[in-house]
Amino acid sequence: MRARVSHLRALLSRALAPGLAPPPARALPQITGPGESRFGAAFLGRARFFSADASTAAQGGSKPPAATAAATTGGDGGGDGQSGKSEQADAGKSVRGGPVSWLSFLLLLVTGGGIIVYYDKEKKRHIEELKNRTSAVKPGQSVGTAAIGGPFKLLNHDGKPVTEKDFLGKWTLLYFGFTHCPDICPDELQKMAAAIDKIKEKAKLDIVPVFITVDPERDTVEQVRDYVKEFHPDLVGLTGTTDEIRKVARAYRVYYMKTEEEGSDYLVDHSIVMYLMNPKMEFVKFYGKNYDTDSLADGIIKEIKEHK
């Protein structure tokens, strides 16, 4: 009995040694015979348990710590450990690889603020440059010579042929309109007549006022003659054929078009502009509807003095 117990202890020592592989299962002798005691059978069972446990530990020594930890966790505990690691990994990703961090948000604010400030400065600088360029040119001053004017051949209100050459040597003020105009044309022609008289009174200058119709279908020589007499004795009325009126309107960049046509009763939409021409029948300046009698007269006097 003692010899067998000594033998078992030797086997256990070898099995539990750190550098030795466990003996095969057949190395344990069968000591549980019919005549052996219960103490020997129990002792042998415990020896086999330690031997198997030692074998598992020796084989697992070469595995990495993560694999050993997973292997030593059994049942539901192993599943909980894996899920815990997965949650920790996801948490780490959400912290490190999130779409927006405080640093990136701060950089975005700083960059956006800088862009806004830069754009505001550039806008103010551009506006200042425009103001400086505008102030460099005096109000009402003509820069260069516009391509306005040209030769024409029409009939005056007395039925005589007239060309642009008939106005050479005189300052001329041209206005395009039509005799059936309800309000704008009469107002502009009255303003023109009053300005002509004011210019003659203030500057002793003679200006030839000219009215050119843009409605040749209705504005005959007789119709134009009766019309111009209502405004000024020096007002010259000109008319012509549809093609002749189209050519002169194109030469002076005048827009006109029939509107609200109902039989013979219609209106003509047209440019509301007066053209000042020098004695060579060259364009000097135009005056829109925003000029009143005084500003029109003063503006013409100023242009004539500057061109002398």
Q: Evaluate whether residue 271 is within a structural domain.
A: yes
Element spanning 237, H or E? strand 236-239
- Rounded mean pLDDT, 181-194: 95
- Rounded mean pLDDT, 280-304: 95
Selected residue with higher pLDDT from 150 and 58: 150
Q: Please tell me the predicted confidence (pLDDT) of residue 264.
A: 64
Q: Please tell me the predicted confidence (pLDDT) of residue 7.
A: 58
Q: Evaluate whether residue 83 is within a structural domain.
A: no
Q: Please tell me the predicted confidence (pLDDT) of residue 54.
A: 44
Q: Evaluate whether residue 292 is within a structural domain.
A: yes
Q: Evaluate whether residue 205 is within a structural domain.
A: yes
Q: Please tell me the predicted confidence (pLDDT) of residue 76.
A: 45
Q: Evaluate whether residue 98 is within a structural domain.
A: no
Q: Residue 233 sits in a domain of what CATH number? A: 3.40.30.10
Selected residue with higher pLDDT from 102 and 8: 102
Number of domains in the chain: 1
Q: Evaluate whether residue 262 is within a structural domain.
A: yes
- Rounded mean pLDDT, 268-277: 95
Q: With 80 as the cut, is the pLDDT of residue 242 above it?
A: yes
- Rounded mean pLDDT, 296-308: 92
Confirm or deny that 157 is annotated as ligand binding: no
Confirm or deny that 181 is annotated as ligand binding: yes
- Rounded mean pLDDT, 151-164: 96
pTM above 0.95?
A: no
Is 282 in contact with 149 (CB distance < 8 Å)?
yes
pLDDT band at 109 (very low <50, low <70, confident <90, very high): confident
CB atoms within 10 A of CB 58: 17
Q: Evaluate whether residue 165 is within a structural domain.
A: yes
Interval 54-98: pLDDT, tens: 444 444 444 444 433 333 344 444 444 444 444 444 444 444 455
259's tokens: 């509107």
DSSP 154-169: EEETTS-EEEGGGGTT
Determine what percent of the chain falls in helix, strand and coil, rounding each to the nearest 5.
55, 15, 30
DSSP 3-state assignment of 189? helix
Give the separation between CA 245 and CA 254, rounded to whole angstroms: 10
CB within 8 A of 89, min separation 6: which ones? none
pLDDT band at 298 (very low <50, low <70, confident <90, very high): very high
Confirm or deny that 185 is annotated as ligand binding: yes
Selected residue with higher pLDDT from 204 and 99: 204
Q: With 60 as the cut, is the pLDDT of residue 143 above it?
A: no
Phi, psi of 64 (to 5 degrees): -70, 160
Residue 176: name the closest of 281, 258, 268 by CA: 268
Q: Evaluate whether residue 123 is within a structural domain.
A: no
Q: Please tell me the predicted confidence (pLDDT) of residue 220.
A: 96
Question: Domain of 194?
Answer: 153-307
Phi, psi of 175 (to 5 degrees): -140, 135
Interval 213-237: pLDDT, tens: 999 999 999 999 999 999 999 999 9
Percent of the chain with pLDDT over 70: 60
Interval 16-47: pLDDT, tens: 555 544 444 444 444 444 444 444 454 445 54
Residue 283: name the closest of 143, 134, 138, 137 by CA: 143
Residue 282: name the closest of 140, 142, 156, 145 by CA: 145
Q: Please tell me the predicted confidence (pLDDT) of residue 128.
A: 72
Q: Please tell me the predicted confidence (pLDDT) of residue 112.
A: 81
Residue 280: name the closest of 151, 189, 142, 141 by CA: 151
